A and B are shown apart, each in its own frame.
Chain A
Amino acid sequence: MSKFIGSRLASALLTLVLASIVVFASIHLLPGDPVVMLLGEQAGSDPEAVARMTRELGLDRPLISQFLTWAGGLFQGDLGRSLRNGEPVLDELLRRIPRSLELIGGGLLVAVALGLPLGVLAARDRGKLPGMAASVIAVAGFSAPVFVSGILLVLIFSLWLNLLPSSGFVAFSEDPLLHLSCLVLPSLAIGINFMGVVARMTRASLIDSMAKDYVRLARAKGLSRGKAMTRHALPNALVPVISIIGIRAGNLLGGTVIVEALFDWPGLSSLLVSASFARDYPLMQGSLLAIFAIFILISLLIDLAQGLVDPRVGTNGG
């Protein structure tokens, strides 16, 4: 088991290193001068001002040395300062990370709470109407782009039923109830898409388990089909479901981009988008890295959870 945890940690670390190189390279190797952007049209045409600013920001140094400075800063928790307002990037990130985690958590909750029963139904009544309906709902959820389900949710729950706010954010400390009601629709929008992934995997894996010898034995003992399914097949069918959640965690995170824009939720993704439009590259680097770090952490936790649920994962090096 400790060997398994070690190898998972090592691969998470490798991913983090590669991700930080991607983050740095994608910003520094592309054309487009942040200094000119920052100074604006007028001052940007003055070569002297541009040169001075470039020097102040350290952008005239070789790329490798810029990367080492940045990476060194990472270890000390220093991610630089925003070009726009001079605020430390880390402060802004720490404010926003919990908000994005809330969305991801909410989305995951919705996806599992709806996707598992749907998948079980689709497997149990395969070839019958309820099962086929469940399968269709799963594919539809999976195919609906997050902004389409988001817009439908706004129409239904804000415009027609007038139950929930259509967008916005209020801090939990200010008004806990309003905070949670603002969280519902974005979580549903992310969750419905991911629900399809969970349901499809649950269905496939449950059908697979139902054909296994231990289920046939349980049936031969006289257990009803429903009981054999819930007691024997389902627990074993969950292992691949947990692993698909890990593999597709990127979808969950990618969903926050659209949802944060659609619902004006001030999380990490909307920070990355607004920083990108402003070409505030320290903020871009910081938010991109934070997003990747969250992604890597989720994958790692899922891997470890899988090791706990299925003891075989740890032992044969899997």
Chain B
Amino acid sequence: MTAVAALIRTTDIATRLAMLVLALVVAAALLAPVLGIADPLAIDPTNILASPSAAHWFGTDELGRDLFSRLAHGGRVSLAVAAAAVLLAGSIGVPLGIAIAFLGPRAEGAAMRVVDVFVSLPEIFVAIVVLAFLGGSLPALIGTIGLLYCPQFARVSYGMARSIRARDHVLAARSLGAGRLWLIRREILPNMRSVIAVQASLTFSFAMLMEAGLSFLGLGVQPPTPSWGQMVGTLKNYIFINSWPVLVPSLALFVTVLAINIVGDWLQDRLNPELQR
């Protein structure tokens, strides 16, 4: 607990605010089913597109559903999809990157050129095509986003694995007969942790934006399950009737992604100070 307190004391005000926002968002998402808030799917035709009131703190959507409740439940979906996609991307990308680092110079160059191409191609277009065929089920969504971001993990873990492999003490260990698996387990993985953590925070905000974008287009999370991007996509059609409801999920997304990016920057400065510009 004292470690946590010390950690918080050494951070600047923006980062502390961002952490607070993230904690609130995660808590709301985790606790949504037990908070005793309105049913996110209960429609009320007599009270549609309402502005905030005592009964509906954040107003209602085009079917009269409570926006506060939909925001909490939608956040649950958005965060869960992003987290699962990051986990998938990391658990494929990291071993792939390490494996490439042991291929030998020729094959390494060729493999990394291919990885670089996949890192550079804009992912969302591939996701649109794939999801058009697979339909917007949650596993399809997670699988698609996760696979599209695994080259980025492969890229950073390849770079790390290569630089660690060339360090003097690792060379010494190898000349004494240390095997590859020993090297990976004892030297490469422990030294990579902070870089992977930063990459994960970056990818998390990308994955969230990707899910939001796809759901906005109608290709991601399918109704009646709410997600923030999908709510924006539906409510934008009513912007001229009442501009309030569409702002609710929009601002939630913006604030959350901003908080993730600020915490990500802080993580980067803290864990990899040598990479700072």
Beta-carbon contact of B232 and A148 below 8 Å: yes
Cα distance A94–B125 when bound, in Å?
19
Contacts of A96 in B (CB 8 A): none
Binds A, one of B97-105, B115-123, B153-161: B115-123
Contact indicator per residue, chain A 74-103, by CB within 8 Å of chain B (1) or not (0): 000000000000000000000000000000
The verdict on B114 contacting chain A, using a C-beta distance below 8 Å, is yes
Beta-carbon contact of B133 and A31 below 8 Å: yes
Residue from A147, A159, A254, A276 in contact with B232 in the complex, judged by beta carbons closer than 8 Å: A147
Beta-carbon contact of A284 and B258 below 8 Å: no
- Indicate the member of B113, B126, B129, B262 with the most A CB atoms within 10 Å: B129
- Indicate the member of A143, A152, A291 with the most B CB atoms within 10 Å: A143
Cα distance A160–B134 when bound, in Å?
41
Beta-carbon contact of B258 and A254 below 8 Å: no
Q: A15-B120, A139-B258, A139-B261 are in contact. Are A279 and B240 (CB under 8 A)?
A: no
Beta-carbon contact of B239 and A291 below 8 Å: no
Beta-carbon contact of A26 and B122 below 8 Å: no
Cα distance A276–B253 when bound, in Å?
26
Contacts of B262 in A (CB 8 A): 139
The verdict on A277 contacting chain B, using a C-beta distance below 8 Å, is yes
Q: A272-B128, A279-B132 are in contact. Are A257 and B217 (CB under 8 A)?
A: yes
Beta-carbon contact of B120 and A250 below 8 Å: yes
A213 CB to nearest chain B CB (Å): 18
Within 8 A of B (CB), among A130-171: 136, 139-140, 142-148, 151-152, 154-155, 159, 166
Beta-carbon contact of B124 and A257 below 8 Å: yes
Contact indicator per residue, chain A 170-209, by CB within 8 Å of chain B (1) or not (0): 0000000000000000000000000000000000110110
The verdict on B72 contacting chain A, using a C-beta distance below 8 Å, is no
Cα distance A204–B226 when bound, in Å?
39
Smallest CB gap from B276: residue in A: A204
Q: A31-B134, A253-B122, A254-B123 are in contact. Are A147 and B236 (CB under 8 A)?
A: yes
Beta-carbon contact of B122 and A254 below 8 Å: yes
Cα distance A273–B124 when bound, in Å?
11
Smallest CB gap from A159: residue in B: B243
Beta-carbon contact of A11 and B113 below 8 Å: yes
Cα distance A152–B132 when bound, in Å?
29
Beta-carbon contact of B258 and A140 below 8 Å: yes
Contacts of B254 in A (CB 8 A): 140, 143-145, 148
Beta-carbon contact of A148 and B251 below 8 Å: yes
Contacts of A15 in B (CB 8 A): 117, 120-121
Cα distance A124–B233 when bound, in Å?
40
Beta-carbon contact of B253 and A145 below 8 Å: yes
Contact indicator per residue, chain A 289-315, by CB within 8 Å of chain B (1) or not (0): 001100100010000000000000000
The verdict on B183 contacting chain A, using a C-beta distance below 8 Å, is no
Inter-chain residue pair count (beta carbon < 8 A)? 139
Q: A143-B258, A151-B236, A151-B250 are in contact. Are A291 and B125 (CB under 8 A)?
A: yes
The verdict on B213 contacting chain A, using a C-beta distance below 8 Å, is yes
Beta-carbon contact of A147 and B213 below 8 Å: yes
Smallest CB gap from A260: residue in B: B217
Residue from A18, A151, A276 in contact with B129 in the complex, judged by beta carbons closer than 8 Å: A276
Smallest CB gap from A30: residue in B: B133
Cα distance A146–B214 when bound, in Å?
12
Beta-carbon contact of B253 and A295 below 8 Å: no
Q: A204-B277, A276-B128 are in contact. Are A250 and B134 (CB under 8 A)?
A: no
Residue from B117, B121, B124, B247 in contact with A14 in the complex, judged by beta carbons closer than 8 Å: B117
The verdict on A121 contacting chain B, using a C-beta distance below 8 Å, is no
Contact indicator per residue, chain B 69-105, by CB within 8 Å of chain A (1) or not (0): 0000000000000000000000000000000000000
The verdict on A288 contacting chain B, using a C-beta distance below 8 Å, is yes
Beta-carbon contact of A292 and B213 below 8 Å: no
Contacts of A272 in B (CB 8 A): 125, 128-129
B251 CB to nearest chain A CB (Å): 7
A5 CB to nearest chain B CB (Å): 18
Contact indicator per residue, chain B 116-153, by CB within 8 Å of chain A (1) or not (0): 01101111111011111110000000000000000000
Residue from A147, A155, A251 in contact with B216 in the complex, judged by beta carbons closer than 8 Å: A147
> What are 25 A-B pairs with beta-carbon distances under 8 A?
A18-B114, A30-B134, A140-B258, A143-B258, A146-B213, A148-B254, A154-B239, A159-B239, A204-B277, A250-B121, A253-B122, A254-B124, A254-B125, A258-B216, A272-B125, A273-B219, A276-B128, A276-B132, A288-B129, A291-B122, A291-B125, A292-B121, A295-B120, A295-B121, A299-B120
Chain A positions near chain B (C-beta within 8 angstroms): 11, 14-15, 18-19, 22-23, 26-27, 30-32, 136, 139-140, 142-148, 151-152, 154-155, 159, 166, 204-205, 207-208, 247, 250-251, 253-254, 257-258, 261-262, 269, 272-273, 276-277, 279, 284, 288, 291-292, 295, 299
